[in-house]
């Protein structure tokens, strides 16, 4: 039943565009925390204490493991941004978000736990969206199993959206490199060039949406089935 619902949903342009941008949203949410880990920056202020903060202090003290988790997060984000390899990105992101969500609820940081849960549910949705691609792993080894992937027939140019994801990643990582770390705005810092990075990143999917919509109205234009 779920497989049938997914196949029908993959033919609807609006749902397909929502999935594309959900990949961007979840992937982009990984980037700041991933960069902090790769740059060996603490995730919380050293003066903060309690179960949540004390765990993060200890996590930061693990050294290379702290950086390894950051590398996995940025890998998941990059895969999600490509659209082409988003299934793998969702499968990498799911166990990471499962651990984060369980940790946040167990330490009773409810606002953060709520956000993490929403991200986790979104990632579960992304995994289900590509159900036909991975459910063959449950097939018995002593029986033949043919994988049949339902193509996305909605007129959505996933190659265009993949280029949008590459541009988003390049703009954010490039700005972080230029700034020397993760920029967190504190109010309307209009005199700081880094303040305009987030609006620029958000503008890219909007521009891509209008370009894709225009292409979808042209007979014979590229569609997602070419991916």
pLDDT digit string, tens, across residues 174-203: 988 888 778 777 777 777 777 888 889 999
pLDDT reported for residue 154 = 67
pLDDT at 217 over 80: no
- Tell me phi and psi for residue 56, to 5 degrees: -65, -35
pLDDT reported for residue 169 = 94
17 lies in which domain range? 2-226
Q: How many domains does the chain have?
A: 1
pLDDT at 148 over 70: no
CA distance 21 to 89: 14
Structure-block tokens of residue 171:
């703009």
CA distance 33 to 41: 9
Query: In which band, very low, low, confident or very high, does the pLDDT at 167 lie, cut at 50, 70 and 90?
Result: very high
Half-sphere exposure of 185 (CA within 13 A, CB side): 13
- CA neighbor of 6 nearest in space, from 166, 179, 190, 135: 135
pLDDT reported for residue 226 = 37
| Its pTM surpasses 0.85 | yes
Average pLDDT over residues 36-50: 87
């Amino acid at each position: 039943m779920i497989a049938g619902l997914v196949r029908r949903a993959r033919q609807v342009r609006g749902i397909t565009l929502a999935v594309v941008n959900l990949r961007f949203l979840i992937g982009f949410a990984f980037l700041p925390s991933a960069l902090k880990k790769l740059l060996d920056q603490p995730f919380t202020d050293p003066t903060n204490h309690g179960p949540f903060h004390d765990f993060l202090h200890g996590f930061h003290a693990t050294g290379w493991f702290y950086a390894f988790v950051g590398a996995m997060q940025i890998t998941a984000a990059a895969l999600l941004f490509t659209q082409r390899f988003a299934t793998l990105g969702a499968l990498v992101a799911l166990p990471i978000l499962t651990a984060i969500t369980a940790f946040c609820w167990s330490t009773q940081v409810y606002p953060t736990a709520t956000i993490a849960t929403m991200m986790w549910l979104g990632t579960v949705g992304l995994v289900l969206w590509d159900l036909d691609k991975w459910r063959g792993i449950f097939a018995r080894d002593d029986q033949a199993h043919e994988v049949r992937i339902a193509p996305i027939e909605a007129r959505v140019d996933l190659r265009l959206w993949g280029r949008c994801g590459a541009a988003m990643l390049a703009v954010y990582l490039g700005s972080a490199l230029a700034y020397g770390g993760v920029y967190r705005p504190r109010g309307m810092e209009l005199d700081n060039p880094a303040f305009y990075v987030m609006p620029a990143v958000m503008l890219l999917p909007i521009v891509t949406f209008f370009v894709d919509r225009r292409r979808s109205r042209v007979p014979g234009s590229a569609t997602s089935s070419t991916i």
